[in-house]
Amino acid sequence: MGINREDYPHTGGMRYATGAPMIPAMAVSTKHADLLSRLLKDDKNLNFYMEMHCQTLEDAPSFNVVGELRGSEYKDEIIAVGGHLDSWDLGQGAHDDGAGCVQSIEALRIFKTMGYKPKRTIRAIMFMNEENGLRGGQQYADLAKLKNEKHIAAIESDRGGFTPRGFTISAPQDKPEKRAKIQSWKPLLEPYGLSDFGSTGGGADIGPLGPQGVVLIGYLPDSQRYFNYHHTSEDTFDKVDKRELELGSASMAALIYLIDQHGLK
Amino acid sequence: MGINREDYPHTGGMRYATGAPMIPAMAVSTKHADLLSRLLKDDKNLNFYMEMHCQTLEDAPSFNVVGELRGSEYKDEIIAVGGHLDSWDLGQGAHDDGAGCVQSIEALRIFKTMGYKPKRTIRAIMFMNEENGLRGGQQYADLAKLKNEKHIAAIESDRGGFTPRGFTISAPQDKPEKRAKIQSWKPLLEPYGLSDFGSTGGGADIGPLGPQGVVLIGYLPDSQRYFNYHHTSEDTFDKVDKRELELGSASMAALIYLIDQHGLK
């Protein structure tokens, strides 16, 4: 059976190795790639005409969007949760990463609706420009350092709005006990379908916070459908299941609650 | 947020408690139920006109469909795997239970393609009439008894063609070790996302085999989207993800392989 065959291309970032000739390159769908391969097999001298209208425009101002619930007891300890605002222009970016943005906002909304007063400051961040250079994530980390902010953990949702499976966790090399502490909460989260805490990793946007000693966490949903939609014209709102999306927000809120209550020493 | 609000009704079986008045009843969508509630709130004397064209027709002949790979070593020990052929008439029955039927066939196809020669007889069964009386399942169990067939396990897929999560397992009351044996295989299956072996249950169609001492197993996929489609006009082929469906077939084949190799003493 192998991989799905599709009519639509998956786009994404592209770069040239140092010294490699900068030949033109474009994304084509798997079905069109199959067709090209068949045609080339029949005719080794096949001529292929390819027209692209891509261009890189001048930089323009853009912004991260940040909201927070101020902590009551340790307000200087920040738990960040975020996704990224930008997406590839051929779709809507509903799963990549509209889902992560609304889940991050929703985690804070859940706390507000419950009347929960966090001990620590919980901050939702919509990062700008993940897809084309990670400048929002980099700028956020630079500003955090400049302002001497203390992030204890950062959670990113950037794998789509699908059914929860777990979290990926990366702790600073000299603080493995922080990762173990989060993993020790597995019995509390497993009844809700969160059973996978075994992988490392955080997320692209929160990555630049890593060198500041921040525990990086990635929300891990079911992965089976993400790459049907990722970076394609099919990544549209109708592909997001409301219930699955909400379960993800609730999972993230549950983990934030545990970190807020118990800290990460 | 609560439950999803939908425009389409979920149909299904319906019965009257003994002695209860047999008032007319019909399925309506959640949105139409909301509308009716609002209208009734505004006008207690609201008249509601309801027209139904349902009827119960005379019985007509129908059949279970059965295929098998004959065992080489213990051919009299049968491992059954099945789904049901019938569905509610307002949709296509793609998830309920077209998925279970094709997964059962696919499990056998996988073995054939691999050139695997089973020790025991592996039988795929498409049961008839699950939705309206379970007659196919009952008839299958009756015939198994009549022919003195020895089923060691029966697996049913009737929860939709979604990402695998695990299996539900019910063993005869005096043979709990058979359930424990299957659960002991969890480390072999967990790397493929099958981590939930904690619930009991098999499936409606295989249920009648239970009194014959058969271990009953239900394939347990992710449950979040099943009741978006179940018994509605939305249960159509386009709602089935090929990859998720195939992962289910492979999961069932893996469990059948383990039972075939190790038996269920």
Per-residue pLDDT, A53: 87
Contacts of A243 in chain B (CB under 8 A): 4, 224-225, 228
Please give the share of chain B, as a percent, with pLDDT higher than 90. 86
**Active-site residue, from A51, A77, A106, A130:** A130
Q: Tell me the torsion sign for CA atoms B184, B185, B187, B190.
A: negative
Report chain A residues whose CB lies below 8 A from the CB of B243: 4, 224-225, 228
How does pLDDT run across B7-35, given as a tens digit for each residue? 999 998 888 999 999 988 889 999 999 99
Q: What is the pLDDT of residues A17-64, one digit of tens each?
A: 999 999 888 899 999 999 999 999 999 899 888 888 888 899 999 999
Residue A33 in tokens: 């790639």
- % of chain A surpassing 90 pLDDT: 86
Predicted pLDDT at A2? 43
Q: Which residue of B has its CA nearest to A241?
A: B225
From B68, B73, B106, B130, the catalytic residue: B130
Nearest C-alpha of chain B: how many angstroms from A234?
A: 14
Whether residue B96 is predicted with pLDDT greater than 90 in this model: the reply is yes
Chain B interface includes A1 (CB < 8 A): yes
pLDDT tens profile B153-207: 999 999 999 999 999 999 999 999 999 999 999 999 999 999 999 999 999 999 9
Query: How far from the centroid of its chain's Cα atoms is residue B121's Cα?
Result: 21
Give the pLDDT confidence of B44-88 residue by residue, as tens digits. 889 888 888 888 899 999 999 999 999 999 999 999 999 999 999
The interface predicted TM-score (ipTM) is 0.82
Residue B231 has a pLDDT of 95
Q: Kindly report the pTM of this predicted structure.
A: 0.89
Q: What per-residue confidence (pLDDT) applies to B149?
A: 98
Residue A1 has pLDDT above 60, yes or no: no
Q: What is the DSSP string of A175-242?
A: -HHHHHHHHTTHHHHGGGT--B-------TTTGGGGGGT-EEEEEEE--TTHHHHTTSTT--GGGS-H
Give the pair of three-digit tokens for residue A68. Answer: 């927070």
Q: What integer pLDDT is reported at residue B89 of this predicted model?
A: 87
The C-alpha atoms of residue A99 and residue A96 are separated, in whole angstroms, by 7
Is the Cβ pair B225, A244 closer than 8 Å?
Answer: yes
